[in-house]
Amino acid sequence: MGLSRFFSLIGLVLGLGVGLVACGGGGGNAGSNPNIPVEPVVSPVAKTASLALTLVDGSGTVVANRGLSQTESRYLRLALTDSSGAAVPFSRVAVTLDSSNARLVPAAGVDLTDASGVLLMRIAPASVTAAGLVQVTAAATVAGLAVTQTLDLQIAAGTVILTGLSVSPASVQNGQSVNVAVNVLVNGAQAASNALAVAFTSGCGTVSPASSLVDGNGLATGVIQTVNPGNCSVLATAAGGVTSSAAFTVTAPPIIGIRFVSATPSVIYQAGSVGANISQVSFRVVNSVGTAVQSENVTASLSNIDGGLNFCGSPSVGVSGADGVVTFSVCAGTLPANVQVRAVLNSNPLIATNSNLLTVQTGVVSQRFFDLAANRLNIYVGGQFTTQVNGNSVDLTAYAADRQGNPVPDRTKIIFVSEGGQINSSSLSSCEISAGSCTVRLIGQAYRPLGSSAANGEPRPGRVTVLAYTDGEEHFIDANSNNRYDPGELFEDLGLPYLDKDESRAFVSAYTNLVTGTSDGETSYPLPIGAAGALACPAGANIGLSVSGSCNGSWDGNTKVRRALVIIFSGGEIGQPGGYDATIPAIRQTEVLDASIGSVTVRLSDYNGNPLPADAVLTVQTFPVVAAGACSATLEGSTVGSTIEPTQHIATLKSCVTGDLVRFTATVSGKASSLSVVLP
């Protein structure tokens, strides 16, 4: 620094106008000394951080006209430096717009600079129709100092063109779908992904999605689910009202079936009874794509008219509505029955179905494949000569399959009737098949049957016959394997089903109870019209299931299949030899069948000559004739088990002698009874 500049700065700092005395000279005013030059005062300038903001294209070249393109990518380039001019890396920069005509990516407009202090942020028109000016404001903070920068940009609306609208396939059946696609151009170039949406509309169906964004290939696509047949078109509409259309054809698919819809209510009651007596049975006519078909005539018929079942006096021909549904009213008669409504398409009688969910492809219940079982055959209820209890029950399960062993459709109804007790399944005496079977309860209560005096009749009280039946077909031998009956093929003829109360396996219309001498008789049940006749019924597998002389000699595909079962209302105590009523056969009474010092065999029954309950617990004890005797016994089986006849039991003995006593004890519901045997 020169001496004169030094003195000038000293003068500036001290604010003095006093002259300095030069070394070796006299005093005086320095300003008047021509030998000392005066330099100007310079104020220091502080450097600050800066934020450079420019608009660049995808290659990084500055866009001179500051215009946002509808087809090409544009970016805001933000370069952040500190007071020394050095780049500021990884610093937060916020960008805002003063107009909704443009959008940022990311939409929040906040991001970090990279390692070189630069941030590229995508900016684009908000839509193809957007136009006008937008001001960009960028803000950041460097070392506590806020810096901002603005940039004005302009947007011009794009010109949208729709080309190549296609429909594939060009012809479909009603109910099927078609694909639509259209090329979208903006300013003559392929529209960018998600740049705009195209709406598709058609009077022949609904389009999904309702508004389709352009994809990465410049295409907008949609799917039309057809609902109306005819000569159809689809209209594509884009921003600015630009449209394009294309034609396609929707044909009516063929009718392929009638479907059972519902029976409301599904249970009706006999005419004159409390409860609903009319059911509305509905079917739907459908085509090959599952769509409802309207204005089709459908004729209905009843599988039987037991007790006067009818269509409530209304026509049995209906016309399907807009939903394809046709409904028939069914009125109950005076007898309990299982009825099906069969619906047939008038224009094609081969298309038909039944109201129990059967279709033309599914078999009906076959006699050979209809069965009835109980979880216990002998329950503690009691009969004429035993203690009687109420409320114990047994589960009765019906199994139903078609002639090929396939389960019949769910909701096929099984009817039960009983000689005694109460059939109860959710307050009904019937059940509906589910997964091939259904179950009801037989509750032990009065009436407890009395023995029959008829020839070959069962004289023992407390034996309850249960009959289950449903609509089905007679079994036949399919000689030509076409899965249908053809004239001349062998079949098993069925007559009227009946409740074989006296277990004689023959229908007895009237007899007297052996015990009281009061009147009784067996009951038969009607068949659909034409299924019964006056011919002899064949013996064999179905003996005891048909009233003799009620077969018709013809195969019936619409009859009643049936199965019967005997349930024992067992007494709870062992009957003692010599204590039985004279009406009980000796071979059904309790008896010692064999006794020795090696084993004892007994037959156990209650006082009606029936088996003890299935869950009766059996034990055996020995009582030696001498106190020091070593006699012991082992019993085979600890319960009676499920049976309809008295049971035999063997006690194997060890170290026993004549005079030793062997006692058999049965315990039922906590009460014990015994039979004692003295070894011979």
pLDDT at 41: 52
- Please give the Cα distance from 433 to 377 (Å, whole number): 22
- Please give the Cα distance from 485 to 476 (Å, whole number): 7
pLDDT at 33: 53
Phi and psi based region of residue 627 (left: phi greater than 0; alpha: psi -120 to 50; beta: remaining): alpha
- Residue 325: CB partners within 8 Å, gap ≥ 6? 261, 282, 283, 284, 292
Strand order in the sheet with 102-105: 50-57, 74-81, 118-125, 102-105
pLDDT at 272: 54
Retrieve residue 163's tokens. 């080309």
Contact 475, 403 (CB under 8 A): yes
pLDDT at 636: 87
CATH architecture of 586-678: Sandwich (2.60)
pLDDT at 403: 82
pLDDT at 465: 97
- Please give the Cα distance from 509 to 327 (Å, whole number): 41
- Please give the Cα distance from 229 to 226 (Å, whole number): 8
pLDDT at 23: 33
Contact 20, 32 (CB under 8 A): no
- Please give the Cα distance from 12 to 331 (Å, whole number): 123
Contact 31, 38 (CB under 8 A): yes
pLDDT at 264: 84
- Please give the Cα distance from 348 to 401 (Å, whole number): 28
Q: Whole-prediction pTM value? A: 0.52
Domain 50-155 sits in CATH at 2.60.40.10
- Decide if 50-155 and 362-570 have a common fold: yes
- Please give the Cα distance from 253 to 278 (Å, whole number): 35
Burial tier of 186 (Cβ tally within 10 Å: 0-12, 13-18, 19+): buried
CA distances from 157 to 70, 102, 480, 625 (A): 8, 11, 78, 121
Domain chopping of the chain, boundaries: 1-45, 50-155, 160-251, 255-354, 362-570, 586-678
CA distances from 651 to 290, 599, 637 (A): 69, 6, 10
pLDDT at 4: 42
Beta bridge partners of 473: 366
| 3-state class (DSSP) for residue 448 | coil
| 3-state class (DSSP) for residue 20 | coil
Q: Which fold has domain 362-570?
A: Immunoglobulin-like (2.60.40)
pLDDT at 38: 55
Domain 255-354 sits in CATH at 2.60.40.10
Under DSSP, the state recorded for 387 is -
Strand order in the sheet with 230-238: 171-173, 242-251, 230-238, 197-201, 211-213
Contact 608, 383 (CB under 8 A): yes
The single-letter code of the amino acid at 516 is T
Contact 456, 450 (CB under 8 A): no
Retrieve residue 314's tokens. 């209304």
Q: Which fold has domain 160-251?
A: Immunoglobulin-like (2.60.40)
Contact 617, 667 (CB under 8 A): yes
How far does Cα 672 stand from its chain's mean position?
Answer: 51
Low-confidence ranges of the chain (pLDDT < 50): 1-32, 42-43, 45, 274, 357-362
Contact 147, 49 (CB under 8 A): yes
pLDDT at 297: 95
- Residue 589: CB partners within 8 Å, gap ≥ 6? 575, 577, 580, 603, 605, 609, 646
pLDDT at 265: 81
pLDDT at 27: 43
pLDDT at 40: 57
